[in-house]
Structure 1
Amino acid sequence: MYIVTLTYCVSHERIDDALPAHRVYLDAQFAAGNFIAAGPKLPRDGGVIVASNMDRARLDTILAADPFAQQELATYAVTEFKATRLAPGLNLPVPEAS
């Protein structure tokens, strides 16, 4: 599982211009089962994505397809962790076979 932290490196105006394309990208990743949570940081200086069910190389490829990455609007920091406890009722995707 991964926590991806985006930090904007351009004005909010440029972020807002790219936001519709970024949302389409997010929708596709949620539909594919790659992302399980996403949203803006507060204060609004970037965002956070929780990703699961993939190896790091695949995650890097997926993140490179984000319009924010392609337009160099944000930087990305990735933290991998192993979830050993989940809240009751929280179901996560089953990891891929290695």
Structure 2
Amino acid sequence: MFVLELTYTAPIEDVDAVLEAHVAWLDAQYEKGIFLASGRKDPRDGGMILAVSEDRAAIERIAATDPFVGAGVCAYRVTEFVATKTAPELERYREAPR
């Protein structure tokens, strides 16, 4: 499982100019079953995404296609973790410790 942390690198007005395309990109990742949750940070200086994939390289490739990245308004930090405990609704994403 992965936590993707977005940090805005441009003024919020520039971020908002690309927001509609970013939301459409998010929707596409949800449809593929890759993203589980996402939202803005508070204060609004970026966002967070919880994602699933078999490998980090795939997640990094997906993040690179975010319209925010293409517009140069955010940077990503990707953190991988092993989800050994989950809420019942996320049970299928549990992993054995490595």
Q: TM-score, normalised by structure 1?
A: 0.89
> Following the alignment from structure 2 to structure 1, what is the Cα–Cα distance between the partners of residues 45 and 92?
28
User: Which residue in the other structure is 1:70 paired with?
Assistant: 70
- 2:41 counterpart letter in structure 1: K
Please state how far the C-alpha of 1:34 moved relative to its aligned partner: 0.8
User: CA 1:53–1:65 in 2, change beyond 3 Å: closer, same or farther?
Assistant: same
Structure showing the higher helix proportion among its residues: 2
User: CA 1:49–1:25 in 2, change beyond 3 Å: closer, same or farther?
Assistant: same
Q: In structure 2, the residue corresponding to 1:50 is in which secondary structure?
A: strand
- Structure 1 unaligned spans of 5+: none
Q: In structure 2, the residue corresponding to 1:13 is in which secondary structure?
A: helix
- 2:80 counterpart letter in structure 1: E
Q: In structure 2, the residue corresponding to 1:60 is in which secondary structure?
A: helix
> Following the alignment from structure 1 to structure 2, what is the Cα–Cα distance between the partners of residues 12 and 50?
23
> Following the alignment from structure 1 to structure 2, what is the Cα–Cα distance between the partners of residues 78 and 19?
21
Root mean square deviation of aligned Cα: 1.6
- Percent of matched pairs sharing the same residue: 45
Q: Is the CA contact 2:84–2:94 (under 8 Å) kept in the aligned structure 1?
A: no
- Structure 2 unaligned spans of 5+: none
Please state how far the C-alpha of 1:92 moved relative to its aligned partner: 4.3
Please state how far the C-alpha of 1:87 moved relative to its aligned partner: 1.6
